[in-house]
Copies of this chain bind each other. A is one copy, B any other.
Amino acid sequence: MTIKALDHAATNPRIDRFLAENQPVTPCVIIDLEIIAENFLNLKRAVPAGQIFYAVKANPAPELLAQLVRDGSSFDTASRGEIELVLAAGASGDRISFGNTIKKERDIAFAHQQGVKLFAFDSLPELEKIARAAPGAKVFCRLLTEGEGAVWPLSRKFGCTVAMAEELLLKAKTMGVIPYGLSFHVGSQQIDLMQWEKAIGTCAGLVKSLAQKGVELKLLNLGGGFPAHYHDPVAPLDNYGQQIMTSLTKYFGNDLPEIIIEPGRGLVGDAGVLQTEVVLISKKGDGDDRAWVYLDIGKFGGLAETMDESIQYRLVTPYAAEPSMPVILAGPSCDSADILYEKTDYRLPTKLKVGDRIQILSTGAYTTTYSSVGFNGFAPLKTYCI
């Protein structure tokens, strides 16, 4: 597969204008809040039965959170730190889900004090922590899924088997918390729409089985997985929504439970553009067929999702896409693992030179927060929300 730089028509005019007027020091990410507002509406339209809990980990920039608070979003959080950010942005605790299945008991207690009602778990020890630190909480159990079809790898790190989930939700009733629902995650940047159907079917079976045993679950949390636009084309958001609504109806009829979706990448990914500078273009010897292009952003400065070249970003240079040359793209640090794309066949314009600026598109999610505090002495990736 060959990935070619796009020409300038692919860029966002508002972001272009900001970059031209402000000439910010690179590297930096510019977030267009208007796109996020638009994506929020599109997601609501696509999954009308669902309530949106924005996955804060995708991008916790305060202006972005404030915008989503105004839009009426709720929030999926991974830690006390994220809960504090959401509260500071103006949302009350009842709009927050503590969705990490790995929590310190004192952080659960903190969330409980702040009015957070909804807590995830996938094991007995975690359920016990919630029962002790947040009595009366609504708990939902995360099921193990395989993540087939997801671009970003999904491991067995989260979730438990259906049998264990059933056992734990039955037990929850006796522990002073409310066995409230189920959740799953089909894997981030999921391109196989049928993965939702499969998971929803599994959940429906478990809901029925539990109802027969006296536990009426109220909630189905469909997690994230909605894609951003990287190199490979993705289906329109509406197709995702239709598939999800169809699967829900297939398994639950018209009596749907409360539905939560947790978009992160799908909500903010396409709203961001990363501006970077070309630091060096070189070859290692006279026989080399590819040039090394070194940028001022790398794996440890925010582009962690280039790990194993999983996420393949689209690039825009100041030049027409052709004529082009094959390149290896790497970051600026002295770490030999700091290579962005070597196995993937990226091509950049032959005219490209040191000092040129490149836009990396769809970098609104999972970039700034992966950035290291100062690896090799480089400052963390800066964000501008416009």
Residue contact A375 to B282, C-beta cutoff 8 Å:
no
Cβ–Cβ < 8 Å partners of A125 in chain B: 280-282, 354
Cβ–Cβ < 8 Å partners of A55 in chain B: 334
> Size range of the interface on A?
35 or more
A169 in the interface, Cβ–Cβ < 8 Å?
A: no
Residue contact B380 to A369, C-beta cutoff 8 Å:
no
Name the interface residues of A327-349: CB closer than 8 Å to any CB of B. Answer: 330, 332-339, 342
Residue contact A158 to B336, C-beta cutoff 8 Å:
yes
Residue contact A57 to B334, C-beta cutoff 8 Å:
yes
A89 CB to nearest chain B CB (Å): 13
A80 in the interface, Cβ–Cβ < 8 Å?
A: yes
Known: A155-B336, A286-B163, A296-B104. A60 touches B370 (CB 8 A): no
Residue contact A100 to B60, C-beta cutoff 8 Å:
no
Residue contact B157 to A339, C-beta cutoff 8 Å:
yes
A153 touches which of B80, B277, B333, B336 (Cβ 8 Å): B336
Closest to A26 in B: B104
Residue contact B57 to A336, C-beta cutoff 8 Å:
no
A300 in the interface, Cβ–Cβ < 8 Å?
A: yes
CA–CA, A197 and B214, complex, Å = 73
Residue contact B100 to A332, C-beta cutoff 8 Å:
yes
Known: A336-B157, A339-B157, A372-B369. A378 touches B284 (CB 8 A): no
A373 in the interface, Cβ–Cβ < 8 Å?
A: yes
Chain A positions 148 through 175: 1 when the CB is less than 8 Å from some CB of chain B, otherwise 0: 0000111111111101100000000000
CA–CA, A330 and B296, complex, Å = 30
Name the interface residues of A280-329: CB closer than 8 Å to any CB of B. Answer: 280-286, 292, 294, 296, 300, 304, 307
Chain A positions 52 through 69: 1 when the CB is less than 8 Å from some CB of chain B, otherwise 0: 000111001000000000
Chain A positions 33 through 71: 1 when the CB is less than 8 Å from some CB of chain B, otherwise 0: 000000000000000000000011100100000000000
A8 in the interface, Cβ–Cβ < 8 Å?
A: no
A78 in the interface, Cβ–Cβ < 8 Å?
A: yes
Binding site for B on A (CB under 8 A): 55-57, 60, 77-85, 99-105, 122-126, 129, 144, 147, 152-161, 163-164, 187, 277, 279-286, 292, 294, 296, 300, 304, 307, 330, 332-339, 342, 354-355, 368-380
